[in-house]
């Protein structure tokens, strides 16, 4: 980390800059307490770095393009080097290398940040976080930020990274070209279908008893409102431009399944390239339910790691805090893995051979990390060779008035002018 910091002008410009102390102040301090202001981060940094002459202006100035680039590089490396050896999938998911879930979520910002982070409303500002989550690890495999107007589809690349994986897509990624690219790269997909989609049905994949309505040759919109069966399982055709801007249409056939929902009294429809022999229509609907995991991940980032409260309009601080939320999440997962290893050792050494394992769900553990992150930070810094701060000096520094020449209320009452 220090070598990377030296590759920027951060260290050259400011002798007080300590990349390691600042990194752990943000990554662990970000989750500690309810105050996530720059002033709070400054005070936590001073605790660890023994630098009580550091001014707010100097600390604020460290949040710059080189520092954001450093954090981005650390995050990208961490994501790339995730250890997934113990992340095997089972049951319906065992045939896949992984299950990847793509989605976007908007982080609300102060209106004054709209110049950089525009939102759909004229008087609004927002940052959109684009994630692709690995179901096996519960962690992002891609993590990008844009303004709130950017469409999710534009931030999802295609290529060999989908090989052997199942990709779950909502309507924000509804793109026939994308479905074709996933299929061409030996991946699988399940996507919701737009309400107004009107595919031509070319083959029925399930035979129904009695006088069932024949679907072959019909269009989806004509038949879906008159069917009374619990499932739809057909092959459909769709047309798109395989080469963008070529004006040459390509036709592909994919599988469309529908499962009747008693509550809404309508079909939930899905497009997929998974075969009927491997997955029935209810199986496809069940697979799609795993998309809820990414909603839980967004909730965790916002509630546990501070993305629900970004109290600044500075674009570099905003970007740094959003990246640090992801790094904090990764670090909490590392801690969870270590806790699970410790739990196994304790059970193996227990006198009672039938001792049951403690349940250590990821999100409950991240909550524990949040509650104790300040203490974790202290132990980490001590292990790295930092010393405990002088408590008297630290409290004196934190208590000093940053505006000593501004008259206080009592002084105004005692000797100020009457208005």
Question: How do residues 254-304 score in pLDDT, each as one tens digit?
Answer: 999 999 888 888 889 999 999 999 999 999 999 999 999 999 999 988 887
- Residue spans of beta strands (DSSP E) within 62-124: 98-109
What is d(CA 388, CA 327) in angstroms, rounded to the nearest whole number? 25
From 289, 305, 321, give the residue that closes a domain: 305
**pLDDT at residue 322 greater than cutoff 70:** yes
The CATH code of the domain that includes 141 is 3.90.350.10
143 and 80 part of one domain: yes
153 and 33 part of one domain: no
pLDDT of residue 15: 63
What is d(CA 290, CA 270) in angstroms, rounded to the nearest whole number? 14
Question: Which percentage of the chain shows pLDDT scores above 90?
Answer: 31
Residue 326 lies in a domain: no
**pLDDT at residue 418 greater than cutoff 70:** no
169 and 251 part of one domain: yes
Residue 260 lies in a domain: yes
Residue 337 lies in a domain: no
**pLDDT at residue 34 greater than cutoff 80:** no
pLDDT of residue 48: 78
Residue 314 lies in a domain: no
H or E stretch covering 134: strand 125-134
Q: Which of 130, 133, 76 is nearest to 99 (CA)?
A: 133
HEC-encoded secondary structure of the chain: CHHHHHCCCHHHHCCCCCHHHHHHHHHHHCCCCCCCCHHHHHHHHHHHHCCCCCCHHHHHHCCCHHHHHHHHHHHHHHHHCCCCCCCCCCHHHCCCCEEEEEEEEEEEECHHHCCCCECCCCCCEEEEEEEEEECCCCEEEEEEEEECCCCHHHHCCCCHHHCCEEEEECHHHCCHHHHHHHHHCCCEEEEECCCCCCCEEEEECCCCCCCCCCCCCCEHHHHCCCCCCCEEEEEEEEEEECCCCCCCEEEEEEEEEEEEECCCCEEEEEEECCCCCCCCHHHHHHHHHHHHHHHHHHHHHHHCCCCCCCCCCCHHHHHHHHHHHHHHHHHHHHHHHHHHHHHHHHHHHCCCCCCCCCCCCHHHHHHHHHHHHHHHHHHHHHHCCCCCCCHHHHHHHHHCCCCCCCCCHHHHHHHCCCC
111 and 40 part of one domain: no
Question: Which percentage of the chain shows pLDDT scores above 70?
Answer: 86
| Contact by Cβ (8 Å): 312, 322 | no
What is d(CA 99, CA 398) in angstroms, rounded to the nearest whole number? 48
324 or 206: which carries more pLDDT confidence?
324
95 and 149 part of one domain: yes
Domain count, the chain: 2
Residue 346 lies in a domain: no
pLDDT of residue 417: 66
What is d(CA 23, CA 39) in angstroms, rounded to the nearest whole number? 16
179 and 146 part of one domain: yes
pLDDT of residue 355: 47
46 and 81 part of one domain: no
51 and 141 part of one domain: no
147-175 per-position pLDDT tens digit: 999 999 999 988 888 999 999 999 999 99
Residue 319 lies in a domain: no
- Mean pLDDT (whole number) for 325-331: 88
Q: Which of 110, 93, 161 is nearest to 132 (CA)?
A: 161
123 and 207 part of one domain: yes
236 or 48: which carries more pLDDT confidence?
236
94 and 114 part of one domain: yes
Q: How many residues does the chain have?
A: 419
**pLDDT at residue 308 greater than cutoff 60:** yes
Residue 244 lies in a domain: yes
One DSSP character per residue, 210-229 reads: SSPPP-TT-BHHHHTTT---
From 288, 305, 322, give the residue that closes a domain: 305
**Inter-CA distances, 412 with 217, 226, 251, Å:** 86, 80, 80
82 and 57 part of one domain: no
183-231 per-position pLDDT tens digit: 999 999 999 999 889 999 999 887 776 567 778 888 888 888 878 788 8
Residue 128 lies in a domain: yes
353-366 per-position pLDDT tens digit: 444 445 667 777 77
124 and 55 part of one domain: no
- Average pLDDT for the chain: 84
**Domain of 198, in residue numbers:** 73-305
């Amino acid at each position: 980390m220090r070598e990377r910091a030296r590759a920027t002008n951060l260290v050259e410009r400011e002798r007080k800059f300590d990349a390691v102390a600042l990194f752990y102040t943000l990554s662990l301090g970000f989750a500690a307490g309810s105050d996530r202001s720059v002033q709070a981060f400054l005070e936590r940094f001073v605790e660890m770095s023994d630098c009580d002459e550091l001014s707010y202006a100097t600390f604020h100035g460290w949040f710059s393009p080189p520092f954001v680039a450093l954090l981005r590089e650390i995050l990208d490396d961490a994501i790339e080097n995730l250890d997934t050896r113990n992340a095997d999938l089972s049951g319906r998911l065992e045939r896949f290398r992984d299950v990847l879930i793509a989605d976007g979520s908007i982080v609300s910002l102060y209106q004054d940040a709209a110049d950089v982070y525009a939102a759909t409303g004229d008087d609004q500002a927002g940052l959109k976080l684009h994630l692709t989550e690995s179901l096996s690890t519960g962690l992002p495999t891609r993590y990008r930020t844009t303004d709130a107007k950017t469409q999710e589809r534009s931030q999802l690349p295609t290529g060999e990274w989908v090989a052997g994986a199942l990709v779950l897509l909502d309507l924000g990624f509804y793109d026939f070209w994308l479905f074709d690219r996933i299929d061409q790269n030996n991946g699988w997909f399940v996507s919701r279908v737009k309400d107004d989609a009107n595919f031509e049905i070319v083959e029925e994949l399930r035979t129904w008893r009695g006088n069932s309505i024949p679907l072959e040759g019909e269009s989806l919109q004509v038949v879906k409102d008159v069917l009374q069966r619990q499932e739809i399982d057909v092959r459909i055709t769709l047309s798109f431009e395989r080469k963008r801007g070529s004006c040459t249409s390509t036709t592909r056939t994919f599988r469309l399944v529908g499962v009747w929902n008693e509550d809404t009294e309508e079909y939930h429809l899905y497009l997929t390239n998974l075969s009927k022999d491997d997955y029935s229509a209810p199986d496809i609907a069940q697979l799609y339910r795993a998309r809820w995991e990414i909603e839980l991940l967004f909730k965790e980032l916002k509630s546990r790691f501070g993305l629900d409260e970004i109290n600044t309009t500075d674009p570099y601080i905003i970007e740094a805090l959003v990246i640090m939320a992801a790094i904090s999440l990764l670090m909490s997962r590392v801690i969870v893995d270590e806790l699970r290893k410790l739990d196994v050792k304790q059970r193996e050494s227990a006198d009672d051979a039938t001792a049951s394992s403690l349940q250590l769900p990821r999100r409950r553990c991240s909550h524990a990390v949040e509650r104790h992150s300040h203490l974790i930070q202290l132990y980490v810094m001590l292990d790295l060779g930092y010393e405990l701060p002088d408590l008297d000096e630290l409290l004196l520094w934190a208590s000093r008035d940053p505006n000593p020449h501004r008259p206080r209320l009592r002084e105004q009452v005692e000797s100020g002018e009457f208005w």
